[in-house]
Amino acid sequence: MLLESLRNQVLAANQEIARRGLAPHTFGNASGVDRSGNRPLVVIKPSGVDYATLKPEDLVITDLDGKVVEGRLRPSSDLDTHTLLYREFPQIGGVVHTHSEFATSWAQAGRQIPCFGTTHADYFHGAVPVTEPLTAEEVSSGYVRNTGAVIVRRFRAEGLDPVAVPGVLVAGHAPFAWGKDAADAVEHADVLEYIARLAFRTVTLNGLAGPIPSHVSEHHYLRKHGPKATYGQR
């Protein structure tokens, strides 16, 4: 079986987003990419298959253009978004798409999530961005591919580093998150949902709340991710 180890990692990631309540029903998917060969290959969940019944051999392998290399089932309907993100963000090795409740609420509101506190700053270097809505032409000419395109466009326009900002809200849709591998992407998707829930409660309690001072958010981000990080063990 091609890419057996990566299949198992991606299977575990898909089951984990369901276990954590990030993807009710089959509203979500996880993928991973293998860049070790001459042709990078993506392993992704098949479309509409229940997480509980998913097996490694059910996962679909494609190239970065979305051409199926191995698999008897149809790949996730979000495949073109995943492959575009892998092409445009070569630093990432896993992508997760969910419809988690609070992050999706911010996406539907078309609002970025400000850095209201240090929990946010520990994981995201700045606000969680939200894309522009897709135009009618973008929807009709390639909705899934253009979902990836509006994500990339937002990151390019603001000079955002996808490693430092490991997730995004697609306006009117839902969140995508990513990481060094599929498991890391799941962690970022889970953290994004937690941040979104805290932010919702923050603005509910205080509609005038603003971001914490930048010297505080920078300190918290850099102590975990900076060149002189002190968080955790050596």
Q: Which residues are catalytic?
A: 122, 231
Rounded to whole angstroms, how far apart are CA atoms 33 and 38? Answer: 13
Neighbouring C-alpha atoms within 13 Å toward the C-beta of 194 = 15
Rounded to whole angstroms, how far apart are CA atoms 100 and 77? Answer: 18
Taking CB atoms within 8 Å and a gap of at least 24, the contacts of 17-20 are 17/51, 17/96, 17/98, 17/186, 17/189, 18/51, 18/52, 20/186, 20/190
Rounded to whole angstroms, how far apart are CA atoms 191 and 197? Answer: 10
Closest by CA position to 82, among listed 64, 69, 59: 64
Rounded to whole angstroms, how far apart are CA atoms 35 and 17? Answer: 24
Let me know: does 10 contact 182? Beta carbons within 8 Å.
yes
Rounded to whole angstroms, how far apart are CA atoms 10 and 41? Answer: 13
